[in-house]
Structure 1
Amino acid sequence: MAEAHQAVGFQFTVRPDGVDFKLSQEVIKNIYLSGVTAWKKKAIQFKNGVLAGVYPASPSSWLIVVIAMMSSLYIHIDLSMGMMDTIKENLPYRDCMSVQTRAVLSAILFATGLWLFLIYLLRYTLKALLSYHGWIFESHGKMSTSTKVWLCLVKMFSGRRPLLYSFQASLPRLPVPSVDDTIHRYLESVRPLLDNEQYNKMELLASDFKENKAAQLQRCLILKSWWATNYVSDWWEEYIYLRGRSPIMVNSNFYIMDLLYVTPTHRQAARAGNVVHAMLQYRRKLERGELAPLRALGTVPMCSTQMERMFNTTRIPGIETDFVQHLTDRKHLVVFHKGRFFQVWLYTGGRHLLPSELETQFQRILNDTSEPQPGELKLAALTAGYRYIQTKNTLKKQARIKYFSQGINKVSLDAIESAAFFLTLDDEPQGYDPAKTNSLDSYAKSLLHGKCYDRWFDKSFTLISYPNGKMGVNVEHSWADAPIVGHMWEYILATDCFHLGYTEEGHCKGDVNKNLPHPTRLQWQIPNECQNVIETSYLSAKQIADDVDFHGYLFAEFGKGLIKKCRTSPDAFIQLALQLAQFRDQHVFCLTYESSMTRMFRDGRTETVRSCTSEAVAFVRAMEDAGNVCQLALFRKAAEKHQNMYRLAMTGSGIDRHLFCLYIVSKYLGVDSPFLTKVLSEPWKLSTSQTPQQQLNLVDINKFPKYVCGGGGFGPVADDGYGVSYIIVGENLITFHISSKFSSPDTDSYRFGQHIQKAMLDIQALFKPENDKTAQNAKYVHLENGKKHI
């Protein structure tokens, strides 16, 4: 009862002689501190907004320009070339001001206008510089003089100490490629996959499209590129994600794993407490724009737009399309444990709950023995099944309107959808265990789909905490791509392990505050008819989850360090190994999807690299021919081709996003295009993605080699294909996450993992004589130097 009394700000009792008020000083103090914190936050956001708004200039530069103009009045040098006199003569109410006042005011107004002009000049100069992408096509380790000059200019115009959103106004727009270039590259990409007859038919379709329909569609697309900040991203979000009616669990959502070899504490509540507190710290930096922007080469800025919706975001289901609801500054978290939903407040007295306080709250939930309410256990399955399902009497969308639009159900649903994020306190341990063969497989499946009702798949992300102290994240895909969440997760793990830490007993550091109000149990009144809809959604989701064949594989024979000694790109090396593994597994080549980013442009997201090239096919066939002596030469040619395609995709000259947008325009205009229809219907039987490491400065892997993340993965894209995600960890480890479907007789994730291992080793063997020769030369030089030294 003590907590209940503290939760009341004031009490009053009506007596015959009047009304007796009793105020709780503790609550009044907390209200005051919350108000102070809120105003401080607004002030900081306003300040950082101003700093980002005038970047690359600074507010102090305005004062310098004003002083310069004011000084010119006293030395009788008109730097404005008569413009200040014109302003002075046209000031309103000038008759009410003295001559000196008008002169000062005109100088201030001219200086402000000049300052704003210079800001826009700097921005557009920087935008013009950032539109140059020649640097990315230069050979690794070699930089031309023009690129060096360009880099110096970019650094000079980039200002100092940029905030997260400082470069947004200076990022160039994503260019629209020419139709001729896109079609040429498309035909080149499908040539190794089609026989002569099929290729000739595709050429005819492409030629007909280019001659008769492309020009009209291209004009509309160019017009959109002038009007919108990005001609792809809004349509990509709407038509690829939000209009999809199939379940987002497995098919769209993806996951990220915890540290592979280290578990900072085995206490579930303590680990969750530290991680949630670190997330709150990250959210505060994010909302204030205080995070450093990600920059290629440490200089070229990347777009940060996607990060805005990381917290307080939910995908709201609809009949024909969903929409992304993003709120601001939500102060609570919803926790799921053993079929119950709890609301946990994240602030007290105007500050974040400390890790020890969060641990206390989560431990209270773990200790709670109450039973789920009718229909509550599998309620979250509504976010796992089809976006629009029809039962005998009820539509899923209608069920939401009918049963969750009023009363306590609406209050509870609003609490979930408006929460900062969703936390699941799982009851089954997971994590990588070298002693267990399938531990990584089980861990991945748990993160990807769980029990189909213990993650809220519509939330921007669900944080998952296991009883053995392991963690993980399940992420809804529409609002952002994997590197965005990966950036946060890198910060969280480093903060948890190296800044917050734990006591010797494994608890969070800090005093334990037992006077916090207990977590609030969300209440539901779910009738039988609605429970039937929940069960239908659960059964469809479970069928999908049970069909996922997952295999996690740690490739530790060599890593980025050795690949770089081979003077080739690690990504190209792995992609060609995947092509070799795919051919050995399926005995045919297939359309291959590799995701690349376009964040060097405003609001950029991703582009496709079609990794199955004619050069890759020639290399793979040579590898299967034991007598072929040109294998290494063909590998280098295929790797160079892949790197060039990746660079084209990053710089806005990809194939698939352009064709996708042309297809959308054709549908709006009612233009039928067999060519575009054919292109958009082609299946990606091998879908691949690399999880990048973006903040290498957070953890020194050489000093702490065990503190490496396992990366993340996603479900299979095609019913008879593979999904492969990989992360290059440090110099000596590559982690593969392989998915397929049990229902396909042609695929097997474990088998494909074995093929990847053999392909990696076979390619590395091509370089062995070359590396041995290099090593021998190095040894000889070392000995010669030694003799000279002696």
Structure 2
Amino acid sequence: QQLTDWWVNTAYLGFRESSVINVNPGVRLPRQRFCSRADWLAFCAEAALGLVDFQRLLAEGSLPVERLRNAPLDMSQYYGVLGTCRLAQPVRDAQLVWDGRPSDYMVVAYENQFYRVQLLRPEDAQRGLWEPLPLPDVLAQLVDIVEGHSERRFSIPNGGVGLLSSMHRDRWADAKAQLVAAHPDNASAMRQIERSAFLLCLDRPLLQGQEWARATRAERDAEVCGNMLHGWGFGSGHSANRFFDKTLQLIICEDGAFGFHYEHSPAEGVAAIRIFDNLLDRLASGAASDLDLPDGLPDIPCQLLDFKPYASFNKDLAEADAALQSHIDNLQITCLEFDAYGKLFVKNQCRLSPDAYFQVALQLAYFRLYQQHCATYESGSLRRFRLGRTDTIRSCTVESARFCQLMSQDESHAAAQAFRVACQAHSLLTAQAVAGQGIDRHLLGLRLIAKEHGLPQHPLFDSGAFRRAQHFQLSTSQVPSQTGATMSFGPVVPDGYGVCYNQLDDKFLVSLTAYSDRRGTDSDRLAASLRDSLLDIRDLMLLHSDRPAKL
């Protein structure tokens, strides 16, 4: 637990830059088809009740324990996703943890305003009863929010409190303190957002107009990924229709663009994705598709959380808007759907680990662009240990470097052998990392133990070699999902890339990010190089295979 606390404090809570793009991932889920506004809101209501039901499974201890090679995995991260929130504070943030009792409401964001929407009857939740409201009752509250929006009067007409949560963490902590102190209603509204089960963000249509009719699928996918990752800014974007400290924000656009944003400190991506795999299985039944919009006011009314402005609110809002928009404009997002083959070919034809195969292919893609190698971070799960989070799988190895060199020399037989050796080396590193034998968290622990005891820092941590080893120009993660989910996150260094991938049986779904103000980094170029590398490695494996080709 001590190592996990150190890691969470160092990587997340003590990180003072904006959590948007830098820390929090966004996830694009399969696009939905809504025939009407009634369709859209009914789907939203059903999705909300599905998340409440998952929280019930957690409270009852009914979620089956996951296993890896018959070893049980720690399930604690699932308990950090719903009913939790990051709390902005000077120097280092804190976490609001779920106490295990029913979360009887969610907060809905619509047109940059926030509303409390009941999911359980308050009296039932107080008695510990998980009796969700009927679907029509939840739907009626959503209809009231959307249909009644134009008739309401707001203290901050264009909203913007949510946008403040995208600021530098110390600036947000200061702005939040001023906001809460300005009016008792603000303190109450903030508590209700923080203690809600999750946020449901009802967004305007995202992919409308002639420009999107002419856009490629990859361009449309990148637009949706950006909406889940950062919201595309204030004004015409949706960034103020968020509260970036809330652990889970379910985002559903009126035109069917669908996904979620999550604050990273309580859990890794696999836990959040598993929750949504479960949710999508539930939604596939289409239980809400035949509902009509209810007439009149709901029996249980929604509650507007009407924030009042403080003295420097407009100044802070302008600062938050400018800073986030600059960050968004500088970020390049590329989506690659590689459908020439998938993990079945890798396992059945090549008899290799799909993850190792992809990681070595990524090394080749990077080498072909820059004629050099770089420190590479891949997230390795430590869930075999109690409260375990991650350690680093360092995918750039001597073996992968040799393979890249041989591929550039057109030595196909030697390259094929070197590729297998590189994959085996990666698989060994992965096994060591998930067994607690990686180096990075151990070094972090040693460094912080010395600091806590007032000991001098070891010269290793000031060396050029260590700094270069920590400069991860490729920050990568595999987040598997059978639903076609694609996760996106920003690079961890200015001259680097963020690469997240989902390996399906017949395709690879990849999201790549880079900063456009850095000469040499270009996520479109890396995606093209990765596509070519995956094709070339396939051809290489088929040429030197003793098995009949099966794609």
| Common fold by TM > 0.5 | yes
Runs of 4+ in 1 over 6 A off after TM superposition: 431-434
Residue 675 (structure 1) aligned with residue 460 (structure 2): yes
Residue 541 (structure 1) aligned with residue 318 (structure 2): no
Partner residue in 2 for 1:311 = 82
Equivalent of 2:274, from 471, 477, 487? 487
Residue 754 (structure 1) aligned with residue 507 (structure 2): no
The residue correspondences of 1:316-355 to structure 2 (distance < 5 A) are 316-328=87-99, 329-348=102-121, 350=124, 351-355=131-135
Equivalent of 2:479, from 655, 675, 691? 691
Residue 742 (structure 1) aligned with residue 522 (structure 2): no
Residue 766 (structure 1) aligned with residue 546 (structure 2): no
Number of residue pairs the alignment of both structures matches: 521
Q: How far off its partner does 1:249 sit?
A: 0.4
Does structure 2 conserve the Cα–Cα contact (< 8 Å) formed by 1:381 and 1:453?
Answer: yes
Does structure 1 conserve the Cα–Cα contact (< 8 Å) formed by 2:343 and 2:354?
Answer: yes
Equivalent of 1:414, from 179, 184, 191? 191
Query: Any idea what the Cα deviations from partners look like across 1:146-203, whole Å, max 9, x if unmatched?
Result: xxxxxxxxxxxxxxxxxxxxxxxxxxxxxxxxxxxxxxxxxxxxxxxxxxxxxxxxxx
Partner residue in 1 for 2:548 = 775
Partner residue in 2 for 1:501 = 287
Question: What amino acid is the match of 1:345?
Answer: Q
Residue 296 (structure 1) aligned with residue 39 (structure 2): no
Does structure 1 conserve the Cα–Cα contact (< 8 Å) formed by 2:178 and 2:310?
Answer: no
Partner residue in 1 for 2:229 = 448
Equivalent of 1:716, from 471, 479, 491? 491
Query: Any idea what the Cα deviations from partners look like across 1:510-540, whole Å, max 9, x if unmatched?
Result: x999642331111222134133123212321
Equivalent of 2:367, from 577, 583, 589? 583
Q: How far off its partner does 1:435 sit?
A: 5.0
Q: How far off its partner does 1:346 sit?
A: 1.2
Question: What amino acid is the match of 2:64?
Answer: A
Query: Any idea what the Cα deviations from partners look like across 1:388-421, whole Å, max 9, x if unmatched?
Result: 13xxxxxx43433333035111111111111111
Question: What amino acid is the match of 2:451?
Answer: K
Query: Any idea what the Cα deviations from partners look like across 1:81-114, whole Å, max 9, x if unmatched?
Result: xxxxxxxxxxxxxxxxxxxxxxxxxxxxxxxxxx
Q: How far off its partner does 1:660 sit?
A: 1.0
In structure 1, what is the Cα distance between the partners aligned to 2:11 and 2:157? 32
* Structure 1 unmatched runs, 5+: 1-229, 390-395, 697-707, 779-790
Q: Are the structure 2 counterparts of residues 536 and 478 from structure 1 closer, same or farther at C-alpha, using a change threshold of 3 Å?
A: same
* Structure 2 unmatched runs, 5+: 125-130, 234-238
Partner residue in 2 for 1:254 = 25
Partner residue in 2 for 1:529 = 312
Query: Any idea what the Cα deviations from partners look like across 1:241-296, whole Å, max 9, x if unmatched?
Result: 10111000000000222125x64766321221111111111111111111111112
Does structure 2 conserve the Cα–Cα contact (< 8 Å) formed by 1:501 and 1:508?
Answer: no
Question: What amino acid is the match of 1:285?
Answer: L
Residue 285 (structure 1) aligned with residue 57 (structure 2): yes
Equivalent of 1:361, from 110, 125, 141? 141
Partner residue in 1 for 2:128 = none
In structure 2, what is the Cα distance between the partners aligned to 1:672 and 1:767? 47
Does structure 2 conserve the Cα–Cα contact (< 8 Å) formed by 1:619 and 1:638?
Answer: yes
Indicate the SS of the match to 1:492. Answer: helix
Q: Are the structure 2 counterparts of residues 517 and 300 from structure 1 closer, same or farther at C-alpha, using a change threshold of 3 Å?
A: same
In structure 1, what is the Cα distance between the partners aligned to 2:312 and 2:443? 44
Question: What amino acid is the match of 2:28?
Answer: M
Does structure 2 conserve the Cα–Cα contact (< 8 Å) formed by 1:247 and 1:385?
Answer: yes
Q: How far off its partner does 1:680 sit?
A: 5.7
Q: Are the structure 2 counterparts of residues 486 and 265 from structure 1 closer, same or farther at C-alpha, using a change threshold of 3 Å?
A: farther
Partner residue in 2 for 1:213 = none
Q: TM-score, normalised by structure 1?
A: 0.63
Q: How far off its partner does 1:612 sit?
A: 0.5
In structure 1, what is the Cα distance between the partners aligned to 2:98 and 2:542? 56
Q: How far off its partner does 1:430 sit?
A: 4.9
Residue 275 (structure 1) aligned with residue 73 (structure 2): no
Query: Any idea what the Cα deviations from partners look like across 1:444-484, whole Å, max 9, x if unmatched?
Result: 11100002322111001111110023321101001111011
Query: Any idea what the Cα deviations from partners look like across 1:532-566, whole Å, max 9, x if unmatched?
Result: 12321232122112211000110100001111111
Partner residue in 2 for 1:374 = 156
Q: How far off its partner does 1:709 sit?
A: 2.1
Q: How far off its partner does 1:568 sit?
A: 0.8
Does structure 2 conserve the Cα–Cα contact (< 8 Å) formed by 1:384 and 1:453?
Answer: no
Partner residue in 2 for 1:31 = none
In structure 2, what is the Cα distance between the partners aligned to 1:735 and 1:674? 42
Question: What amino acid is the match of 1:404?
Answer: V
Indicate the SS of the match to 2:26. Answer: strand
Indicate the SS of the match to 1:767. Answer: helix
Indicate the SS of the match to 1:595. Answer: strand
Does structure 2 conserve the Cα–Cα contact (< 8 Å) formed by 1:340 and 1:371?
Answer: no
Q: How far off its partner does 1:590 sit?
A: 0.3
Question: What amino acid is the match of 2:303?
Answer: T
Q: Are the structure 2 counterparts of residues 513 and 635 from structure 1 closer, same or farther at C-alpha, using a change threshold of 3 Å?
A: farther
Percent identical = 26
Question: What amino acid is the match of 2:65?
Answer: P
In structure 2, what is the Cα distance between the partners aligned to 1:371 and 1:738? 42
In structure 1, what is the Cα distance between the partners aligned to 2:14 and 2:217? 40
Does structure 2 conserve the Cα–Cα contact (< 8 Å) formed by 1:724 and 1:738?
Answer: yes
Q: How far off its partner does 1:486 sit?
A: 1.1
In structure 2, what is the Cα distance between the partners aligned to 1:770 and 1:307? 44
Does structure 2 conserve the Cα–Cα contact (< 8 Å) formed by 1:268 and 1:467?
Answer: yes
Q: How far off its partner does 1:339 sit?
A: 2.0
Identify which range, 586-595 or 668-677, moves more after superposition. Answer: 668-677
In structure 2, what is the Cα distance between the partners aligned to 1:279 and 1:560? 30
Q: How far off its partner does 1:330 sit?
A: 2.8
In structure 2, what is the Cα distance between the partners aligned to 1:456 and 1:429? 19
Identify which range, 572-581 or 369-378, moves more after superposition. Answer: 369-378
In structure 2, what is the Cα distance between the partners aligned to 1:554 and 1:542? 28
Indicate the SS of the match to 1:232. Answer: helix
Query: Any idea what the Cα deviations from partners look like across 1:338-379, whole Å, max 9, x if unmatched?
Result: 122111111237421233332222122121213543376111
**Hey, which of these two has a bigger chunk of helix by percent?**
1
Q: Are the structure 2 counterparts of residues 514 and 687 from structure 1 closer, same or farther at C-alpha, using a change threshold of 3 Å?
A: same
Does structure 2 conserve the Cα–Cα contact (< 8 Å) formed by 1:663 and 1:677?
Answer: no
The residue correspondences of 1:462-473 to structure 2 (distance < 5 A) are 462-473=249-260
Query: Any idea what the Cα deviations from partners look like across 1:302-353, whole Å, max 9, x if unmatched?
Result: 0011222221111011111000012433312111111221111112374212
Indicate the SS of the match to 1:541. Answer: helix
In structure 1, what is the Cα distance between the partners aligned to 2:35 and 2:432? 45
In structure 2, what is the Cα distance between the partners aligned to 1:625 and 1:324? 53
Does structure 1 conserve the Cα–Cα contact (< 8 Å) formed by 2:488 and 2:500?
Answer: yes
Partner residue in 2 for 1:388 = 170
In structure 2, what is the Cα distance between the partners aligned to 1:601 and 1:436? 41
Q: TM-score, normalised by structure 2?
A: 0.89
Indicate the SS of the match to 1:256. Answer: strand
Question: What amino acid is the match of 1:478?
Answer: S
The residue correspondences of 1:63-82 to structure 2 (distance < 5 A) are none
Partner residue in 2 for 1:461 = 248
Indicate the SS of the match to 1:347. Answer: coil
Does structure 2 conserve the Cα–Cα contact (< 8 Å) formed by 1:408 and 1:524?
Answer: yes
In structure 1, what is the Cα distance between the partners aligned to 2:66 and 2:411? 47
Equivalent of 2:341, from 546, 553, 558? 558
In structure 2, what is the Cα distance between the partners aligned to 1:231 and 1:387? 24
In structure 1, what is the Cα distance between the partners aligned to 2:174 and 2:512? 37
In structure 1, what is the Cα distance between the partners aligned to 2:11 and 2:196? 26
In structure 2, what is the Cα distance between the partners aligned to 1:768 and 1:264? 44
